[in-house]
Structure 1
Amino acid sequence: MNLHITNETSRLKAVVLGTAESIGPIPTLEEAYDPKSKEHIKAGTYPKEEDMVKEMEAVAEVLKKYKVEVFRPKLIKDYNQIFTRDIAFVIDDKFIKSNILPDRDQEIEAIDHVLNKIDPEKIITLPEAAHIEGGDVMPLGDYIFVGTYKGKDYKDFITARTNRQAVEALEKIFPEKKVVSFSLKKSNEIAKDNALHLDCCFQPVGKDKAIIYKGGFLIEEEYEWLVNFFGKENVYEITRDEMYNMNSNIFSISEDVVISEKGFTRLNTWLRAQGITVEEVPYAEIAKQEGLLRCSTLPLIRE
């Protein structure tokens, strides 16, 4: 397999889509990785496996409609394998394994059948000190945008997933690209104040547009840099509640086709006004775990 990912929106050819099957029992509060999951565990509204399976199958159907080759992880019993974006990411022709939360290291083994199709020299394991997850990484041509948290209290945040060492590692692997990092707001307890990954508060869409939530960025100048990069007229600003519901976490099949949650009425109207076809799917149950469509897909090849 010849990997090829240079941006977020070129025509998708091959992807790993997670699975919600055999997800296991509802986690305890201590086992939860993010404040939104904790919220739903406390409220008794944590999503049911059968509902999440239906939501993911709706995405699989859309991908099939657009003739995308879809790989799924091998099932691990009683194990959450929905968010494949966390475990790895592709930039150019390189497959980079994430260094993620230690409890989740079986997830990469479950896509061995995909890794076996890739030239081993193109598979990169980062240094142990470089913590990173794919939701924080966005290739954009000559740029790589990376969400991070650089505070001295990094270790205190289970929601801080990508550190300074990972940014430096990407700079070494891709010396010809400009790696631009953005410090994100983190909260272990308040989901509306937590940008778990960069794609929870920002995502490019279409040819030259972007979805942004200003409050997800710790440093206003970094947010302003992004707005200037795209041009204010090309930026769609979402609210705190829309960020909480994961409006920036849609998924592009191409510059003119996206998969979006059917409840994102305001966003979907704006996307259509930009000439983008919106394939609506139900994904509100999966959103309860602080991840959505981009989080549950790992693109391998775009045109």
Structure 2
Amino acid sequence: MKLHIDNETSRLKAVVLGTAESVGKEPRLEDAYDPKSKEHIKAGTYPKEEDMVKEMEAVAAVLEKYNVKVFRPKQLKDVNQIFTRDIAFVIEDKFIKSNILPDRELEIEAINHVIEQIPEENVLRLPEEAHIEGGDVMPHGEYILVGTYRGDDYKDYITARTNMQAVEALQKLFPNKKVVSFNLRKSNTEPRDNALHLDCCFQPVGKDKAIIYKGGFLEEKEYEWLVNLFGKDNVFEITREEMYNMNSNIFSIAEDVVISEKNFTRLNKWLREQGITVEEVPYAEIAKQEGLLRCSTLPLIRE
């Protein structure tokens, strides 16, 4: 397989879509990785497997409608394998395995049947001290945009997933690209103030547009840099509540086609006004785990 990913929006040809089959029982509160899951565990509203399976199959159906080659992870018993974006990412023709939370290592093994189709020299792993997850990494033409957390208290945040060592490692790996990092707001307790990954507060869409949540960025100048990159008129600003509901975590099949959650009324209207076809799916149950459509997909080939 010849990988090719240079951006977030070119026509998608091949993708790994996660699976909600056999996700296991509801985690204990102390085992949850993010504040939104904790919120739903406490409230008794944590999502049920059968509802999440239906939501993911709706996405699979849309991808198949657009003739995208869809790979699925090998099913592991009682393991949550929904969020494939966390476990790896592709830049150019390189497949980079994430240095992920240690007890999620099995998830990478479950896509070995995909990895085996890639030339061995193109399958990479960053140095052990470089923590990284795919939700923080966005190829964007000459840039690689990376979410991180630069605070000295990095180790105190289970929600801080990508560190500056990873940013530096990416720059070494792709010397022809400009790697730009963004210091994201983190919270272990309040999901409305937690940008778990860059795609939880920002995402390019269409030819030259972007969705952004200002409050996800700790440094205003970094937020402004992104707005200037796209131009103010091309940026759709989402609210704190829309960020909490994961409005920036939609997924592009092409510059003129996106998959979005059906309840994102304001966003979906704006997307259509930009001439973009919006394929609406139900995804509100999966959103309870602080991830949405981009989180569930690992693109391998775009035109």
Q: Secondary structure at the match of 1:23?
A: coil
What does the per-residue CA deviation read over 1:183-233, in whole Å, with 9 as the maximum and x for residues that have no partner?
000000000000000000000000000000000000000000000010000
1:290 aligns with 290
2:216 aligns with 216
Q: Secondary structure at the match of 2:96?
A: strand
What does the per-residue CA deviation read over 1:172-191, in whole Å, with 9 as the maximum and x for residues that have no partner?
00001000000000000000
1:58 aligns with 58
Runs of 4+ in 1 over 3 A off after TM superposition: none
1:2 aligns with 2
Distance in 1 of aligned mates of 2:239 and 2:209: 17
Distance in 2 of aligned mates of 1:177 and 1:301: 19
Structure 1 residue 79 corresponds to structure 2 residue 75: no
2:41 aligns with 41
Q: Secondary structure at the match of 2:298?
A: strand
Q: CA deviation at 1:132?
A: 0.3
RMSD of aligned C-alpha atoms? Answer: 0.3
Q: Secondary structure at the match of 1:301?
A: strand
Q: CA deviation at 1:103?
A: 1.1
1:262 aligns with 262
Amino acid aligned to 2:147: G
TM-score, reference length from structure 2: 1.00
Q: How many percent of aligned residue pairs carry the same amino acid?
A: 82
1:91 aligns with 91
Distance in 1 of aligned mates of 2:102 and 2:243: 27
What does the per-residue CA deviation read over 1:17-38, in whole Å, with 9 as the maximum and x for residues that have no partner?
0000000000001110000000
Q: Secondary structure at the match of 2:37?
A: helix
Q: CA deviation at 1:255?
A: 0.0
The within-5 A match list for 1:241-260 is 241-260=241-260
Q: CA deviation at 1:4?
A: 0.1
Q: Secondary structure at the match of 2:24?
A: coil
Structure 1 residue 158 corresponds to structure 2 residue 158: yes
Q: Secondary structure at the match of 1:105?
A: helix
What does the per-residue CA deviation read over 1:124-167, in whole Å, with 9 as the maximum and x for residues that have no partner?
01100000000000000110000000111000000000000000
Distance in 1 of aligned mates of 2:136 and 2:125: 17
Listed as ranges, the gaps of 5+ residues in structure 2 are: none
1:240 aligns with 240
2:119 aligns with 119
What does the per-residue CA deviation read over 1:40-69, in whole Å, with 9 as the maximum and x for residues that have no partner?
000000000000000000000000000000
TM-score, reference length from structure 1: 1.00
2:132 aligns with 132
Listed as ranges, the gaps of 5+ residues in structure 1 are: none
Structure 1 residue 192 corresponds to structure 2 residue 192: yes
Distance in 2 of aligned mates of 1:164 and 1:266: 35
2:20 aligns with 20
Q: CA deviation at 1:270?
A: 0.2
2:205 aligns with 205
Amino acid aligned to 1:225: W
2:273 aligns with 273
Distance in 2 of aligned mates of 1:103 and 1:38: 18
Q: Secondary structure at the match of 2:204?
A: strand
Distance in 2 of aligned mates of 1:124 and 1:115: 11
Distance in 1 of aligned mates of 2:67 and 2:240: 35
Distance in 1 of aligned mates of 2:69 and 2:30: 37
Structure 1 residue 230 corresponds to structure 2 residue 230: yes
Amino acid aligned to 2:150: K
